[in-house]
Chain A
Amino acid sequence: MARGKKDMDENDSGLRLDRIKPATNVFFNAWFALLSFIIIVPFIFVIMISISSTKSIAEHGYQLWPSEFSLAAYAYLWGERVTILRSLGVSVIVVVLGTVLALLLNSSLGYVLSRKSYKLRGFLVWLAFIPMIFNGGMVASYVVNANLLHLRNTIWILILPICASPFNIIICRTFFQHTIPDSVVESAVIDGSSQLRIYAQMILPLSKPVLATIALFTAFGYWNDWFFASLYIADKNLLTLQALLNNIQRSIDFIVNNPTLGVSLMAYKASMPSEAVRMAITIIVIVPIAMAYPFFQRYFISGLTIGSVKG
């Protein structure tokens, strides 16, 4: 289009051509606004259902704008706060312990693998790499976890199986290799520092970006896990929030069958605004994620870029 004029005003045409036409820009914006809307609308919808009255749901079904509002579902959950808070407690313990452990395991092996002079490096690289290609699968893991390690119905089954990850170890190793010069580590060794000290006092503080990213993805992974709980946990006291939600889906009557209050079963069932309650629990599960999300959003993107560095 600007070919003929390119010699005369290349800077100007450069600026103009580098941008898309205003009409295209408007079209793209409209397109992404629509997509964002499709992503957001279920959230709003579920919130609206959770604050609908039982009557409104019974008469009009789920509505984007309920004909009658009610906080009965949340009041009901407040009545069940013992169950909810216990599950919340389990979730928080799992997330915190799991994330700390994940950081230690991933970064320590990642650091060791980044030391080029280490004698067992080749062996350990293979050790970490083989499971990315080949693994034992669900059944063998299940038998080992349940029958050999006896982790069933313990909080450890929710933490240990997913704390380290070959993928995150490679990300750590790549980060250490690219950002921390060998000479720095070597001079520390010459000064008489032990490797443990170098790892704890030099490497970890220098690696905050990569650690933050891994911590966030791991923490969300733990928060969202329901699968391990569904396979291994029968003990009510060890249900995470997601597992509770999953169990409620499995049987809407779960809470009804486990009343913490002394009300008779029938009266209890009748008083339970069940559909709104389900959506209210969903909201309780999502809210912490939604609140944390905007603050950590920049780490996701930077972290994904770190991960894409091949090394």
Chain B
Amino acid sequence: MKTKKRWKKDDTELTLLALPSVVWFVLFLYLPMIGLLIAFKGYRVFAGHGFVYNLIHSDWVGLKNFEFLFKSNNITIFLRNTLGYNAIFIILGMVIPIAFAIMLSMLRNRFASKLYQTIMFFPHFLSWVVVAYFLFAFLSTEKGILNNIIAAFGGERVQWYSQAKYWPFILVFMQVWKTVGYSTVIYLASITAIDGSLYEAAVIDGATKWQQTKYITIPSLTSIAIIMFLLNVGRMFYSDFGLFYQLTQRIPGSLYNVASTLDTYVYAALQGNTPVGMTAAATFFQSVACAVTILIANGIVRKIDPESALI
């Protein structure tokens, strides 16, 4: 029953308006998708020719690049670290900010609450390069304040940057330090948007503050929590590169096992002379794995609660 309408002057104008962005999308997002073909090629650079020529004239090698990748010993370390840290970040990134947001919303003093938010949000605007300097000021073996304190109490100075056992905790702590304010503010915004009459009714029924939190606040946050969860799960195979690379001072050998992720591997490979095909295989795997994860997660959410699904 829908009649096909004619193309109007409006449509031409809107197309022109969209054109610059569309060109941008093609150049910076869609061409790389085609570039993923490198993962199936023995990509070679022919002197004097451009990228397209090289891509076409390189031999197809099927899944050889993937074979190499998954046979290398370290891939299990990269995968374990990438997925493991992300799992921890996702869980902590949900529990801690929700708890903080609820606590902030209960503070009696509005000004204090705003002040805490402002301060906690700030690290979001710092780069990992800067944060790495902060951390160095604490952890430097010779000069760092942590070792100074240890030494003042007569302890032995710790070589933080070469002791792998500390780093899972340091990395997790710093990740939380930098991101907790941002997520807290997002959840707090959702709490502020909850209909106040719900609480009034609960108070009249004699609900305690704890009961109000349990039966009103937390259920009201599920929708935004699910969206955040889906967005994060969709990046499960990616890691926050700067966190691992900068904080560890460029991943020294002694920290390789605890701080290497798929992204640090790819970055190192791009800077070194690993064949580009194998590195491309790693990123192809990342992209596909993430797309599949987010679609599955979204499918599950849709089954349980269609309203909260992202797609």
A binds B: yes
Contact indicator A61/B17 (Cβ below 8 Å) = no
Q: Write out, one digit per residue, whether chain A residues 1-35 have a CB within 8 A of any chain B CB (1) or not (0).
A: 11100100010011001111000110011011101
CA of A33 to CA of B112, assembled, Å: 9
- Chain A residue contacts of B246, Cβ below 8 A: 246, 249
Contact indicator B134/A39 (Cβ below 8 Å) = no
Whether A67 is near chain B, meaning CB under 8 Å from some CB there, is no
Q: Which residue of B lies closest to A226 (CB)?
A: B129
Q: Looking at chain A's contact residues, is the secondary structure mostly helix, strand, loop, or mixed?
A: helix
Whether A206 is near chain B, meaning CB under 8 Å from some CB there, is no
Contact indicator A36/B119 (Cβ below 8 Å) = yes
- Chain A residue contacts of B137, Cβ below 8 A: 42, 45-46, 49, 62, 279
Q: Which residue of A lies closest to B7 (CB)?
A: A119
Total A-B pairs, Cβ < 8 A: 297
Q: Write out, one digit per residue, whether chain B residues 255-286 have a CB within 8 A of any chain A CB (1) or not (0).
A: 00000000100110011000010011011101
Whether B68 is near chain A, meaning CB under 8 Å from some CB there, is no
Q: Which of A69-77, A79-87, A136-144, A257-265 contacts B (4 or more CB under 8 A)?
A: A136-144
Q: Which residue of A lies closest to B196 (CB)?
A: A18
Whether A180 is near chain B, meaning CB under 8 Å from some CB there, is no
- Chain A residue contacts of B234, Cβ below 8 A: 132-133
14 contacts between A and B (CB under 8 A): A24-B209, A25-B109, A118-B14, A137-B286, A140-B35, A140-B36, A142-B270, A143-B35, A199-B17, A227-B242, A249-B246, A250-B250, A279-B133, A293-B122
Q: Which residues of A contact B (CB under 8 A)?
A: 1-3, 6, 10, 13-14, 17-20, 24-25, 28-29, 31-33, 35-36, 38-40, 42-43, 45-46, 49, 57, 60-64, 104-106, 108-109, 111-112, 115, 117-120, 124, 127-128, 131-145, 147-149, 160-161, 163-164, 169, 189, 194-196, 199, 220, 224-227, 231, 242, 245-246, 249-250, 275, 278-279, 282, 285-286, 289-290, 293-294, 297, 300-301, 304-305, 308, 310
Q: Which residues of B contact A (CB under 8 A)?
A: 5, 7, 10-11, 13-18, 20-22, 24-25, 27-36, 38, 43, 45, 50-52, 54, 100, 103-104, 106-109, 112, 115-123, 125-127, 129-130, 132-135, 137-138, 140, 142-145, 147-148, 177, 181, 185-186, 189-190, 193, 199-200, 203-209, 224, 227, 234, 241-242, 246, 249-250, 263, 266-267, 270-271, 276, 279-280, 282-284, 286-288, 290-291, 294-295, 311
